[in-house]
Structure 1
């Protein structure tokens, strides 16, 4: 007895009966179309309705003698036109049925289809938006961008899917996999309320700036010249440091900018954060400047911050700072040197100017920004010397201002605020972001965190912190280029398994028998998740089966030509400003 499984060779004798049936059926359909089409065409041309015999000999006569043999007096053009018309009438319904069946079935068995994703589809998300936003109640025709954030189209044929305004999102994609073109830029362009964007590149800024200027004021915080934007604003970095909580948060942002894993703070890092907390609080309460604060760090013997803390009634904190100063010289110097390294970026006058009061430039006030339709671009480089601590501090202050505003509005911001934290692990290391994530969503602050990999987030927030961030995100998009084998294997298990049928053919003296067995296979094997094409992503939404979606790049959307022209103009302006800056620098070097 022999057994044949899928993929094995099946003998011609097994297929012969089916081949005969298939050939006969095809011949019958072709001859029927020719017979009926030619007859109808001849009748329409005026030759009369005179169908030839429905026999094989008629078809042979048509092939050997032409249409005049079967339909005398009828023009050949009319005959062939009738055949083409009947062929179209027969083919069109079949195509429509097959297309409808293909649209109703997901491309990959086991993934979510239209029915499972109804809550993210246009009708479901519109109803959810009316429940979340009081200003939309009673509005009959809603702009799609008023209902939720565009995620993409369900693969392969739609519909478009959107997240609600209480969802928070985590996106993991490799470089050049569509993070900017398919996520960051569309979110900024489509935002209905205030916008905050962090990045280490100028591409999102260049594409979106002109469009955002049409709806509100554009604030560009660019202390390191990513876009070479002129300094037209300043931010009071110490404004929220009038409380111990505010001072500790700001100190934590500077510490996180030089410490990869928040769960591995050693003695020096923790002590430096405590010292910076005391100094920030003293500077804010004593109306001192950031320059004064740097001077205190340079000279631990300066008693000014201790006196200011005592004048503020912060005796315990003053005593703690004094204990640090009076401790062993080696310990004190180690703590202060670590603190100086954490805020070393402020030694750069180009960066310091952006957080120093300037009567000739506008002050950015986070509490006003979150109630507007303005846009805040936070740009910083990676690595040593970056302004990541300042960027994280301003981003955190803005989002916390959004929380305060939401509480005053009854619970949620309306319209919601959009915060796109691109390169969050490099330029916006908010140490407790995993803990705040779900809270932001409940306040109408749509946070989108973009990372290159799961491991990149673990280096910043630790394994536990990244797990918390993953769990708190109600929408997760996994794009192309995920090369972490362990992570991809976990995702494959998370997507699940499905039954796969195996057909077995057994031959014996009594004949051929066919049996079907089933086995469990991954819906998406790890190798397929790793090889997701650019422009596609695996969608993991809370309470819904995983789905494959196609991202919607901004340059394929309506109005892209005008946006592209404005982006080209802005890019040329950036290039020109960069050339002028380096020309001036070269001139200074020659002098």
Structure 2
């Protein structure tokens, strides 16, 4: 007795009857079709004998030998018609079956029925309930229904998150974060936009489209897009309260501290000192340059006196205690604080946060009420303006919350905040806590990271766990190589039953039996090997699904956007060349080494 089936053994006895049935069906169709065709041409209803020699005669001598008196075209047309009609019906039935099969769970993943809350009908109903401005508008444009996520694999439909969802996306470099998520989200935004990045690709593709929607503000202190300075932001505007000053100090501290969840004595003391100095500068109407002077000279009593003048005696005494402490301790604290804000020593960066009467001032509270766009561009690594970028991004999002409270609870239209390279250029220390309520205020935040470990390095394991839990939409794309994390995701996706057949043979014949075993829906190796352009969707309250991203260059308006992107890339290149030539008057323009390589998408 054998437990393993032999290849093809069970099907072999059915081969002869199957061939005979196919031959009978073909001959029947030819016999009937030819007779009908001959009758239709006026030869009358004269069916030939239903015999094998009829088919052989037709094959050898043609239709006129079988249906005499009828033109050859008549039986041929009839045969073709009789053969094509059943084939067309079979194809239609097959298409319906395939479409129905596509909507069923495949290997334990979600089907279209499971994802009903993300489909167009329910997405539109939810959008109307969240946005009073949509009342009476019919039909709604697709982008008014929600934020496009992608198409359900393998054949759709498209899925959209609601305007109160907050999103966390983890993908390796070159996996489609910019082309499939950041750029489409900016292009499709219905309200104001905030984007952070350390590259110029998203800026180049989206700038022209966003300029048609509203004012474009480009905050580029380190020359990522080589944009001219056409604005300034008051760094100390939100530091008039202890909370605002502490938040800004926290952003600068986070820019140099790899794990905001672990602060040693020097980091904590530096944050306290910066809080006092920011508060004194804001309430005393001093500038960033004044603040840098206080840090350079701890003996300067100006900030202590300013704090006392505004009635913050306890904070003034605390700052005075730091100054009067042991020299080694004081110098350590002040040196740490100086390192945190060292980017402001660069006059090119400080100019962007220093009042300039010749340029318009960027106002976050005005920005969130319209359809303007703010691009926050900064390099990562040493000397970056990450603390300034985080401070401005945080200021805009908190302004959105304040505006939402005035509107009855939610921004309408919603605000889109795409925090690309958040772990490098936008380290908002309490971002995991903000996630818990930003979505409910109409502030749609998308945080893009290269890996789970990258986020844990910035916010700590507990902070990253909180961010993961607070995100109502999670997209996991190609190239996730963290074995522990991928294995955790595999367990979250779960297992499903797999049926296995076995055949037993004996003297009395054969018998087939089935058994079931549990297998992972998405094994770790399959998650790691997700193809570029696809992502595993984990949405709150629904089963995991596999989706296909919708990159901007495959959309109907891609040609127009590509033309504008090429023009923007050329402008960036020309500005960079001009800056290089100004800095190297004796250099050879042919040897110019550009800081930014034109992006592949714009080509």
1:132/1:165 contact within 8 Å kept: yes
Inter-partner Cα distance in structure 2 for 1:144 and 1:539 = 20
Partners in 1 of 2:476 and 2:239 — Cα distance? 38
Matched, 1:193 2:184: no
Partner of 2:216: 218
In structure 2, the residue matched to 1:570 is 568
User: CA-to-partner distance for each residue in 1:396-440, whole Å, 9 max, x for gaps?
Assistant: 000000000000110000010000011111111101000110200
Change (3 A) 1:226 1:36: farther
Consecutive unaligned residues of structure 1, counting only runs of 5 or more, are: none
Distance 1:350 1:91, change over 3 A: same
Q: 1:455 to 1:46 in 2, by over 3 A?
A: farther
Structure 1 position 206 matched with structure 2 position 238: no
The answer on whether the counterparts of 1:104 and 1:114 sit within 8 Å (CA) in structure 2 is: no
Deviation per CA, 1:490-535: give whole Å up to 9, x if none: 1111111111111010011111111011111111111111111111
Q: Is the 8 A contact 1:166 1:446 kept in 2?
A: yes
Contact 1:212/1:218 (8 A) holds in 2: yes
Inter-CA distance 215–119: structure 2 relative to 1 (3 Å threshold)? same
Q: Which residue of 1 aligns with 2:7?
A: 10
User: What is the CA–CA distance in structure 1 between the aligned matches of 2:154 and 2:22, rounded to whole Å?
Assistant: 30
SS in 1 for 2:446: strand
Change (3 A) 1:63 1:471: same
Where do 1:144-155 residues align within 5 Å?
A: 144-155=142-153
Counterpart position of 1:95? 91
1:273 maps to which residue?
271
* Contact kept in structure 2, 1:112 and 1:545, CA below 8 Å: yes
The DSSP-based 3-state class of the residue aligned with 1:99 is helix
Is it true that 1:183 corresponds to 2:213 in the alignment? no
Distance 1:301 1:26 in 2: 100
SS of equivalent residue, structure 2 residue 519: strand
Matched residues in 2 for 1:316 and 1:71: separation?
A: 112
Distance in 2, matches of 1:389 and 1:584, equals 29
Give the aligned partner of residue 322 of structure 1. Answer: 320
Deviation at 1:77, TM superposition (A): 4.3
Match of 1:415 in 2: 413
Q: Does 1:532 align with 2:530?
A: yes
Change (3 A) 1:60 1:381: same
Residues 103 and 156 of structure 1 are in contact (CA less than 8 Å); yes or no, is this contact kept in structure 2?
Answer: no
Name the residue aligned to 2:49: 53
Structure 1 position 174, deviation (Å): 1.1
Tell me whether 83-92 or 290-299 shows the greater mean CA deviation: 83-92
1:588–1:429: structure 2 CA closer, same or farther, 3 Å change rule? farther
Residues 588 and 466 of structure 1: CA distance in aligned 2, closer, same or farther (over 3 Å): farther
Q: Among 21, 33, 40, which residue is 1:25 paired with?
A: 21
Matching residue of 1:62: 58
Q: Which of 282, 296, 316 does residue 298 from structure 1 map onto?
A: 296
Q: Which among 246, 251, 254 is matched to residue 253 of structure 1?
A: 251
For 1:570 and 1:235, locate their aligned partners in 2 and report how far apart those are by CA, in whole Å.
24
- State whether structure 2 residue 438 is matched by structure 1 residue 440: yes
Return the alpha-carbon distance in structure 1 between the equivalents of residues 142 and 17 of structure 2.
52
Matched, 1:86 2:82: yes
Aligned to 1:364: 362
Q: Aligned match of 1:132 in 130, 133, 149?
A: 130
Give how far 1:73 is off: 4.0
Deviations 1:536-578 (A, max 9, x none): 1111111111111111111111211111111111111111111
Q: Is the 8 A contact 2:581 2:587 kept in 1?
A: no
SS of the residue corresponding to residue 574 of structure 2 reads: helix
Which deviates more from structure 2 when the two are superposed, residues 91-100 or residues 171-180? 91-100
SS at match of 1:264: coil
* Distance in 1 between residues matched to 2:338 and 2:72, nearest whole Å: 93
**Pick aligned residue for 2:37 from 32, 37, 41:** 41
* Aligned counterparts of 1:416 and 1:408: Cα–Cα separation in 2: 14
Residue 479 in structure 1 maps to residue 474 in structure 2? no
User: 1:504-543, aligned counterparts within 5 Å?
Assistant: 504-543=502-541
Residue aligned with 1:227, SS: coil
Distance 1:589 1:298, change over 3 A: farther
Question: Which residue matches 1:456?
Answer: 454
**In the alignment, is the contact (CA less than 8 A) between 1:41 and 1:79 conserved in 2?**
yes
Q: Distance in 2 between matches of 1:20 and 1:196?
A: 69
- Scaled by the length of structure 2, the TM-score of the pair is 0.94
Deviation at 1:178, TM superposition (A): 1.1
| CA deviation vs aligned residue, 1:55-87 (integer Å, no higher than 9, x gap) | 333222222232332233444444444333333
For the Cα contact (< 8 Å) 1:197–1:377, is it kept in 2?
yes
Greater Cα shift, 214-223 or 22-31: 22-31
Q: Please give the residue correspondences for 1:423-438 in structure 2 after superposition, counting only pairs within 5 Å.
A: 423-438=421-436
Partner of 1:557: 555
Q: Give 1:466's aligned residue.
A: 464
Which deviates more from structure 2 when the two are superposed, residues 45-54 or residues 239-248? 45-54
Tell me, in whole angstroms, the C-alpha distance in 1 between the residues paired with 2:73 and 2:549.
Answer: 48
Distance 1:552 1:194 in 2: 22
For the pair 1:263 / 2:261, whether they are aligned, the reply is yes
RMSD: 1.6
Per the TM alignment, residue 352 of structure 1 is displaced from its structure 2 partner at its CA by 0.7
Note if contact 1:107-1:156 (Cα within 8 Å) is conserved in structure 2.
Answer: no
Is 1:130–1:137's contact at 8 Å kept on the other side of the alignment?
A: yes
Instruction: Give distance in 2, aligned partners of 1:234 and 1:550.
Output: 40
Describe the SS at the equivalent of 2:3.
Answer: strand
- The normalised TM-score by structure 1 is 0.96
How much has 1:450 moved relative to structure 2? 0.7
The reply to whether residue 354 of structure 1 matches residue 352 of structure 2 is: yes
How many angstroms does 1:478 deviate by? 0.9
Q: How many residues align?
A: 586
In the alignment, what sits opposite 1:241?
239
Deviations 1:146-195 (A, max 9, x none): 11001111111111110000000111111111111111111111111010
